[in-house]
Amino acid sequence: MVKVLIDNDKIDIFFQPIVSIKDKKIFAYEALTRAYDDNDELISPMYLFDQAKKENISNILDNYVRKLAIEKFQKYYNQNKNVLLFLNFESSIIDNYLEDNFLKVVHNNNINPSNIVIEIKEDSVKDNQALIRFVNKYREYGFIIAIDDFGTGYSSFDRLSLIKPDIVKIDRSIIYDINKNFVNSEILKAISNMCHKIGAIVLAEGVESKNEILSCMKKDIDIFQGFYFTKAKKIVDDKIKNNIFSSINNIGDNYKTMVKNHINVKSSLLQESQTLTKNVLSILNSNTKNYIKNMENIILENKKLEAIYIIDFYTGLQFNDTIILIEENTLFNPTKDSHDHSLKEYYFIAKESSRGDYLSGKYISKASGNMCRTYSSGIVLNEKKYIICLDILE
């Protein structure tokens, strides 16, 4: 069946653009296989490649579609020598690697190997040694190596050290509604940070909404692929490109607004925290016996303020128990008198800061389990220096 499709030219290649928003350009195209039956009805690509395995001609099909993709890419490459082509390699080809004419096809089309990205869905490759040999061989030729669908299935972080990819494509299952999913958001943030540290570009695939893209951009992801920009097309013409650039500009404007709003919110939060600190300090300086009750009232009056605690400036040890209006439980409980905060950033950064204060990033409070930030500031109370800390709810 598959051989008949090949012989009858029933297999075609579509390209889906991959964009860089900050560089305002089409970064690459991914080649996607499309096959049609005698009635010109679309055949599922998954079915096509599964059928090729059953017919024991996976290698023939894989070579054939790669050749089609490279020949089609030549036009786009001649227009822009910086654009890349993403090509998928079936895991069965990698596990049972046989020398093919892939490099010859690339050279015959006068394309630089450094413009070809070999996508490996690494979780489906069973033989690590075969994977390493395959990657090293093609990297020596100058090809770019990418891990596809990272974060799903049996994807493992140790494979990153084996493959040392140039590009890591994050699977749609993590990207979906990421602006609403805190857990996936933190997973993506960790993957993004790790990839950047090992020198890999991060690509978010399957993006379908503006909010998904903006959430990814917060995590320093800049390369995107998905229906938000365009579906895979038989030909990516000027009209499609113009629509893509319009979408890029729209996202760019939204991103700049988002960054400005973030700066304003953080500035406002800082000012509010400084005002609250002055109010707390005023209560402490009043020497009233009801100072704890008065600080509890401040917490009641400020819905975003969850806790107040004071740390000795020189030792990092807490002075008195944390003032907080929640019940303790087994997992989360407020710190007590003499608790050591000396290794906490909100202590030593505020202590060493030339400004004398610090606003932390978001984290899960060990006092309550709620998401919060800690504002800390140096104060003087009864001629003794302290660091006052306010836990601000997110």
Dump pLDDT digits (tens) for 291-344: 788 889 999 999 899 999 999 999 999 999 999 988 767 789 999 999 999 999
Quote the mean pLDDT of the chain. Answer: 89
Stretch among 50-59, 93-102, 104-113 having the lowest mean pLDDT: 93-102
- Secondary element (H or E) of residue 203: strand 201-205
Please give the CATH number for the structural domain made up of 2-236: 3.20.20.450
70 near 111, Cβ under 8 Å?
yes
Whether residue 257 is predicted with pLDDT greater than 60 in this model: the reply is yes
Query: DSSP characters for 20-64?
Result: ETTTTEEEEEEEEEEEE-TT-PEEPHHHHHHHHHHTT-HHHHHHH
Bridge partners, residue 378, by sequence? 387
- For the cut 80, the answer to whether the pLDDT of residue 154 exceeds it is no
Task: Assign 96 a pLDDT band (cuts: 50, 70, 90).
Answer: low
Instruction: Please report the pLDDT score of residue 99 as a whole number.
Output: 56
* From-to residues of CATH 3.30.450.20 in the chain: 286-393
Q: Is the pLDDT of residue 347 over 90?
A: yes
162 — pLDDT class (breaks 50, 70, 90): confident
Residue 57: the pLDDT is 84
Mean pLDDT of 167-173: 94
Say yes or no to pLDDT of 160 above 90: no
Band (288; pLDDT cuts 50, 70, 90): low
* pTM of the model as a whole: 0.83
- What percent of the chain has pLDDT above 70? 94
Q: Is the pLDDT of residue 98 over 70?
A: no
CATH of domain 286-393: 3.30.450.20
* pLDDT band with cut points at 50, 70 and 90 for residue 75: very high
pLDDT at 59: 80
How many Cα atoms occupy the beta-carbon half-sphere of 341 within 13 Å? 32
**pLDDT for 85 beyond 90:** yes
Q: Which residues contact 275 (CB under 8 A, 6 or more apart)?
A: none
Which residues have a Cβ under 8 Å from the Cβ of 228 and sit 6 or more positions away?
Answer: 207, 208, 209, 210, 212, 213, 247
> Mean pLDDT across the stretch 163-191?
92
The rounded distance, in Å, linking the Cα atoms of 47 and 325 is 59
pLDDT at 229: 97
User: What is the pLDDT at residue 381?
Assistant: 87
- pLDDT over 70 (residue 283): yes
pLDDT of residue 152: 72
CATH code 3.20.20.450 region(s) in the chain: 2-236
Least confident of 82-96, 131-145, 156-170: 82-96
